[in-house]
A = this chain, B = another copy of it.
Amino acid sequence: MRLSLNGRMPEWAERADRHQATAFVDSCLRGVGMVIFLDNPVTGILILVGLLVASPWLCVATLVGVASATLAARLLRLDVRTIRTGAYGYNGALVGAALGTFLLPVWSLPVFACIVLASAISPVVMVAVSAVTARLLDLPALTFPFNFVAIPSLLATFSIVHIHHSPLLAIHAAQKIETGLRATEGVTPQADPGVIVGAIFRGIGQVFLADDVVSGILIVAGLFVASRVVALFAVIGSVAGMLCGLALGGDGVAVYHGLWGYNSVLSSAALGGVFLVLRFRTAIYAVACAAATAVLYAAMVFVGSRFGVPALTLPFCIATVVFLLVPWATTSIRRVPLAEVSTPEERLRIGS
């Protein structure tokens, strides 16, 4: 029997369930994929390879995060079937990636301990967020739990001295904004097609804090395996975010490194088929949300800079929740009931 890599790979999940260890590894890999809504272990593997290309430490920090979160969910005796989809792991994966990126020194025991502990709290926050979003509003928790764990963790480093944060976290006074695309401050701007395409894929990589073109390409490949539609909307979102950055006159270094894109990647993928029933007007709506996300990113990056912390994926979470609430008041855009969320392809096949 040949295993299909498509969709959620339920046959493989059954096989993996035969051994506790393979089931745990499978849950973790699915957790990595679930960051971009895809409950598929092959997607998870391709993403992890992408992170490895960008930085081995980033890959390990992500793995430690997802494993710690998944283990904590087991210890809390949360629903086993939900744990198997990676739903309690994906926020831990991002907590690992973010703390691994913004805390120093890399490969150190204190940072390792921070990642383990902070990620282990993420399933607790996931349940709490879901108790509001899912129970009261039938909405997904998105990556709110990641933000609610990682942002306070990063803020706390300003009150303590035994954990150090990277110089990336700094309280900025007035910022000098130059719009030319360039890799670092003080170099000549470039706007050739290679840089533009690079910014699009870096935007996808930045979802996992991987500032690397190849990472972005491997992540898109991972999405493509499970869902062509999600892969397409991820790319569309990155393009939309980048174009907003250029049109509004965002800082060229930020645009170059995909920072205007990663939140829009997630918004676009969320609305373009995962949580909304896909039609032509949904696609327009997803792009509108990706653009609104980019503006919200500009606002929150400024607010964050006053406290020395990044916006992480809060702009995506807020904009997407807002746009997902609209189907309550219109029949022109239809939501997929939370319990039936799957890949767009699976839904199209069963004719929803």
Contacts and interface: CB of A to CB of B under 8 A. Distances in A.
A132 B137 contact: yes
Contact of A161 (B132, B249, B326): B249
Interface in A280-306: 288, 292, 295-296, 298-303, 306
A326 B162 contact: no
Contacts of A153: 295, 299
B248 A162 contact: yes
A151 B303 CA distance: 11
Contacts of A322: 124-125, 128, 148
A224 interface: no
A187 interface: no
B298 A156 contact: yes
Given A77-B330, A329-B78, A299 B159 contact: yes
Q: How extensive is the interface on chain A, given as a class?
A: 35 or more
A121 interface: yes
Nearest to A295: B156
Interface string A324-336: 0110111111000
A1 interface: no
**Copies assembled:** 3
A135 interface: yes
A163 B118 CA distance: 39
Interface in A146-168: 148, 151-153, 155-156, 158-163
Interface string A152-188: 1101101111110000000100110101000000000
Interface in A85-116: none
Contacts of A155: 298-300, 302-303
B292 A162 contact: no
A127 interface: yes
Given A76-B332, A132-B137, A137-B131, A158 B302 contact: yes
A12 interface: no
A250 interface: yes
A301 B156 CA distance: 8
Interface string A197-210: 00000000000000
A247 interface: yes
Nearest to A126: B329
Contacts of A159: 175, 177, 250-251, 298-299, 301-302
Contacts of A292: 121
A130 interface: yes
B79 A329 contact: yes
Interface of A: 76-79, 121, 124-125, 127-128, 130-132, 135-137, 148, 151-153, 155-156, 158-163, 171, 174-175, 177, 179, 247-251, 288, 292, 295-296, 298-303, 306-307, 321-323, 325-326, 328-333
15 contacts: A77-B330, A121-B292, A124-B322, A127-B329, A128-B323, A128-B325, A155-B298, A156-B295, A156-B298, A156-B302, A159-B177, A159-B302, A161-B249, A162-B247, A163-B249
